[in-house]
Amino acid sequence: MDQEYNVNNGDNVNDIENEGLLDGKQNERYSSQFSDESMAYNEPFLVKRRNTTSQIAIIGANVCPIESLDYEVVENELFKQDWRSRKKVQIFQYVVLKWAFSLLIGLGTGLVGFFSNIAVENIAGFKLLLITDLMTKKKYFKAFAALAGCNVGLAAAAAALCALVAPAAAGSGIPEVKAYLNGVDAYPVLAPSTLFVKIFGSILGVSAGFVVGKEGPMVHTGACIASLLGQGGSRKYHLTWTWLRYFKNDRDRRDMITCGAAAGVAAAFRAPVGGVLFALEEAASWWRSALLWRTFFTTAVVAIVLRAFIQYCASGTCGLFGEGGLIMYDVSTVKVKYSLADLLAAILLGAIGGILGSIYNYLVDKVLRVYSIINEKGAIFKILLVIAVSLLTSCCSYGLPWLAKCIPCPTVVQDNCPAVGGSGNYKPFQCKPGYYNDLASLFLNTNDDAIRNLFSTGTTKEFHMPTLFLFFASIYCLGIITYGIAIPSGLFIPVILAGACYGRVVGRLFGSISRLDTGLFALLGAASFLGGTMRMTVSLCVILLELTNDLLLLPLVMLVLLVSKTVADTFNIGVYDQIMKLKGLPYMEAHAEPYMRNLVASDVVSGPLVTFSGIERVGNILHALRSTGHNGFPVIDEPPISEAPELCGIVLRSHLLVLLKGKYFSRDRVRTGQDIFQKFSASDFSKAGSGKGIKMEDLDIQEEEMGMYIDLHPITNASPYTVVETMSLAKAAILFRQLGLRHMCVVPKSQGRAPIVGILTRHDFMQEHIFELYPHIDPHKRTLDQPEEDI
């Protein structure tokens, strides 16, 4: 069932724009905007409404509350005491555990990657062998019934898992992981249930013959494994080892999830270096040299695990999974010599890939908007949509090969043509002995085997031009309509398939003047389409070279990727950025928008503030926590505690809840001093696991305790990041993004005023929020509102 967002629960309203400032009429305006029952979320959110507050996101077509992550180190008195008391042995434990967790992430992701591949190869393989056997006996209707029945059954099982257990597992998961590493937290994205559905849903979906890959979901799977290990232990399952407390913070979890994302790419493509570069170029928003070493170590572990299992299965002990499993398209046996004509062909492929990639992204965006209307109607509609797409895919896979002509087998491969009982370029389908159906060898194979056939070298004319055009059109359209249904689905494989098709076409056209094999042109075509859709360069280049094991193609692959990305960037943004925007995930770019230079920090600060005194009444704190969803509150010292009002720092909601639950109250308004260290330790205030932590319902405050006082100084972050109110919003946004902040204090330029003007959070830098405050700077509205002669 689709979940609804309930703002009546004060603990769940810790939305991004409310993390430290909105109150009064402003807070009521935002709260009523989302709590009004008349605005039920069965409306097509992505079609008719804009996400004007970045308070919620669409995760798996469900509305989900989102928060920012606390990457900043909170330097309060408890933290300083913990840091001063840390011994060398504890530092050693922390370092050892970091590397141990990297090892476990690599082992876990490698095992899952191998398990997924062996499951897909066997399930899909037995299905295709059954169909081949029926075709050989000329039972054509039964063959189609078996194909459609197996596909629909597997697809329905994958959809049921996704729709009923973990809607967040739908899609590739790369946009969600990328948003998390940018500082956006939506609990369902990395939940254990999401991991379970991601693994088994991906196996079922790929085995069902959908035009999807398991490579994108593997990135999400690696991130989920890392998140599960990075919870810092569990009291529920008695995993409370003292060493694990070091990882109860968002900074270390972020690093582990970065390692997990890199491990996912390494497990999907057997490309360890490509995985590191993918994490660096596409996934992570913050990077440092120490993280590079750990990520490289993690992907190396993945590569060793996969190599060990491949050697074990080479003897045939893993069913239909043998030497061909775990995609590796080796083209290193072909001599690579290229001339000026090949460089021109590479430029042409890059331009084609850029144009086709931008169109692909545009159509994916439109299809996702339509699917959001269907998916929000409930789980049954999600499953029915998956079944409908599965039937369409089955009809294309079985029906289109009938349009292809039977072709005589080449004389040089008579022994292997037609291929019987396995994959290959020469599928018999309905042809008589000695003939093969080239379109069937692409459709009636696993996606990995179809790519191997297209990348195969020394097979210049095995695929006829009409076959390549028909297969390209089918895969291009099926890839678009399949992404967005309620199954785990990756974009890498559909894009590689389509790109390899037109790459072979260009290779045939340049055959008279080119020295390159058509299989190498297929690789360049795949590179161009990947660059046109995903807009990555360095990581894609290395992944493709590790996949094909041919460094001699490096200059051409680099040229193709650069041209395709440049061409595609003139039309729209990359597919992952597009999906993040579509889902409402408030991603902060590394650059500032031009209109931000015309605004200053105080222009987007909302108010009035909700502040606390350094020594505050319990009742006032409880009222603020219940009436607002803020996650950060400024703490201000006033006379007689200080000579003049001064900003003491920021206190977090989660820390206040710990202090209230511990009932460290006093009847007099006095500072507690060092006594608090006897009742609390720094680990008591550490970040709880995802979806856990103290809630308002856990507090038991008596009426007589409401008038007592709490000293907030020991838990207040005394060194918050501050900017002057006249700083340009562009500079503040860059600073906020580079430091990975959740709260940024805006202080007055002149003396004699309140010590703080407001707090900037992620929401305040979002385009929707700024254009709502200043509609005249919105270029779209300005263009529509201006008279024609003024435009």
Q: Please tell me the predicted confidence (pLDDT) of residue 93.
A: 85
Prediction pTM value? 0.89
- Reduced to 3 DSSP states, what percent helix, strand and coil does the chain have, rounded to the nearest 5? 60, 10, 35
Please state the three-class secondary structure of 308-333 as a single string: HHHHHHCCCCCCCCCCCCCCCCCCCC
- Residues 344 and 354: their CA atoms lie apart, in Å, by 15
Q: On the CB side of 387, how many CA atoms lie within 13 Å of its CA?
A: 13
Cβ 403 vs Cβ 429: under 8 Å: no
Average pLDDT over residues 579-590: 90
The 10s digit of each residue's pLDDT in 26-84 is: 333 333 333 333 333 333 344 444 444 556 777 776 777 788 888 888 888 887 777 66
Cα 557 to Cα 317: distance, rounded to the nearest angstrom: 37
Contact 212, 494 (CB under 8 A): yes
The pLDDT value recorded for residue 543 is 93
CA dist 354 and 365 (Å) reads 17
pLDDT at 264 over 70: yes
* Calpha distance 693→698 (Å, rounded): 10
Q: What Cα–Cα distance (Å) separates residue 562 from each residue in 301, 559, 571?
A: 31, 5, 15
Structure tokens at 147: 């194909």
3-state SS, residue 65? strand
- Output the pLDDT for position 45: 42
Q: Enumerate the β-bridge partners of residue 616.
A: 710
pLDDT at 29: 35
Amino acid 424: pLDDT: 61
Q: What's at 716, amino acid-wise?
A: T
Residue 564's Cβ-side half-sphere holds a number of Cα atoms within 13 Å equal to 35
Beta strands in 561-683 (DSSP E): 612-613, 615-617, 632-637, 646-652
Structural tokens at position 532: 């046109």
Q: How far is CA 50 from CA 58, 396, 584, 754, in A?
A: 12, 37, 9, 35
CB 292 within 8 A of CB 280: yes
What is the pLDDT confidence band of residue 603, given thresholds at 50, 70 and 90? Answer: very high
- Of 8-17, 182-191, 447-456, 471-480, least confident by mean pLDDT is 8-17
Coil vs helix vs strand at 589: coil
pLDDT digits (tens, 9 = 90+) for 670-685: 887 777 777 787 777 8
pLDDT at residue 149 above 90?
yes
Considering only CA atoms, which of 178, 249, 187 is closest in space to residue 590? 178
Q: Strand pairing partners for 717?
A: 650
What does the pLDDT average to over 620-626? 91
The two three-digit tokens of residue 350, written as one number: 């890059």
Asked if the model's pLDDT at residue 161 lies above 80, the reply is yes
Task: Count Cβ atoms below 10 Å from residue 749 Cβ, excluding itself.
Answer: 12
Weakest mean pLDDT among 314-318, 553-557, 629-633: 314-318
d(CA 518, CA 510): 9
Q: Which two tokens stand for residue 457?
A: 């070298």
Q: Taking residues 296-325, what's their average pLDDT?
A: 82
Question: Which of 153, 158, 191 lies closest to 173, judged by CA?
Answer: 191
Tokens of 78: 């408890």
**E strand or H helix at 67:** strand 67-68
Q: Residue 132 in contact with residue 146, Cβ under 8 Å?
A: no
| C-alpha–C-alpha distance, residues 245 and 222, integer Å | 22
What is the structure's pLDDT at 84? 62
